[in-house]
Chains A and B, each alone.
Chain A
Amino acid sequence: MDGGFSCEKYKFNDKIDVRFLHSLYEEDYPYIEEVFGTTLKELTNSQLQVDEAFIAGDIAGLKKYVHKIKPSFGFVGLMETQEMCRNFEDACLAATTPDQLSIPYQQLKSLMEDSRKVIETEYKKLKHFNKGI
């Protein structure tokens, strides 16, 4: 995922686009920790909104909340998840009934959950790393 980019100081999860992350924050690890912490907090509530919209069969709401959550993944370098959110927004636009979104929603939900775990683990690692600086 990091396209050959390496950082000797800290090893990120392979799913994180480290090159992109460094283009945003350079090597300011305390700030990167802050970004992961803020994102983690926001995701908890946003994922809930996505789930509620799906259960209610609210396609417009589903698209709106996925749109909102999308850049959060980008800010922590999870570009694949961000791209998946974008594709899901397109699927919402094309869908005429909520049923048509069931499979893409389950795929997205699973990826978002994995991503949340990656962010959570990375946040803990960063906290530990920054304490040692």
Chain B
Amino acid sequence: MSLTCVIVEDLQVAADFLVRCCQKSGQIDVKGHFTNAEEALLYLNVNTVDIIFLDVEMPGSSGFELLDQLIYSPKVILTTSKTEYAYNAFEYKVTDFLKKPFTYQRFTEAVQKVIDAAEPAPSNGTNGENQGSDHIFIKSDGKLVRLKYEDILYIESMGDYVKFVTLDKKYITHNTIKSLEEKVNKQLFMKVHRSYIINLLKIDDIRENDLFIKGIEIPISKAHKSEVLRRLNII
């Protein structure tokens, strides 16, 4: 099993030791080391990891404040020299608690707990299992926003980002049309162009190679046109 992690730790000797433990385990790929919560958050807002090795007391925001701002939930192993955080650790559903300095044996026990409790890691921007659900969660403006499928008009590509358009709002999130195509409810949504996924129930009319949703013109590519027409309830 291969896991990814970041280390958020301001004590260099502790961070170095964690890197060494990860390398020794042969199971954990260290994606980054950050000495404060702010830098870690910048990374974690656009990258997902399986584990955060997290110190609590650091310059600036605390480890718990970092967890408050995270919009997904990787497994957390606290690395601290204080035992007073046990209650907070419980509240934040922390997987384990490594009291510094800890041994490699203790480290492997903590990692094993993560493996035992492993769940599929969420992908950027959405929560994955959406085929039977009536909603999707997206990351936008530092929040995890719940969008009902029935409220989404269409999704538009913006390079490395996509725009979810509802009747009264637009939400921009880091994702791609290609990735979303696999994740949204396929009964309701359909890719009609390399830059657009539309809600089939929201189409007002189709003219030539364009469809219209609430007055917005959306192109239909040649490759998708026959499938669009097939999916419509034409009498």
Contact = CB atoms under 8 A, between A and B. Distances in A.
B103 A24 contact: yes
A75 B57 contact: no
B10 interface: yes
Contact of B57 (A24, A64, A74): A64
A15 B81 CA distance: 21
B57 A67 contact: yes
B109 interface: no
B103 A68 contact: no
Interface residues of A, number: 17
Given A71-B100, A74-B81, A38 B13 contact: yes
Contacts of A41: 12
Interface in B147-192: none
Contact of A68 (B17, B20, B57, B105): B57
Contacts of A72: 11, 13
Contacts of A34: 16
B142 interface: no
Contacts of B11: 42, 68, 71-72
A39 B82 CA distance: 19
B14 interface: yes
Contact of B101 (A24, A42, A64): A24
Contacts of A70: 81
A70 B57 CA distance: 12
Interface of B: 10-14, 16-17, 20, 57, 81-82, 100-101, 103-105
28 contacts: A23-B103, A23-B105, A24-B101, A24-B103, A34-B16, A35-B13, A35-B17, A38-B12, A38-B13, A38-B16, A41-B12, A42-B11, A42-B13, A67-B57, A67-B81, A67-B82, A68-B11, A68-B57, A70-B81, A71-B13, A71-B14, A71-B81, A72-B11, A74-B100, A74-B101, A75-B14, A75-B17, A75-B101
Interface of A: 23-24, 31, 34-35, 38-39, 41-42, 64, 67-68, 70-72, 74-75
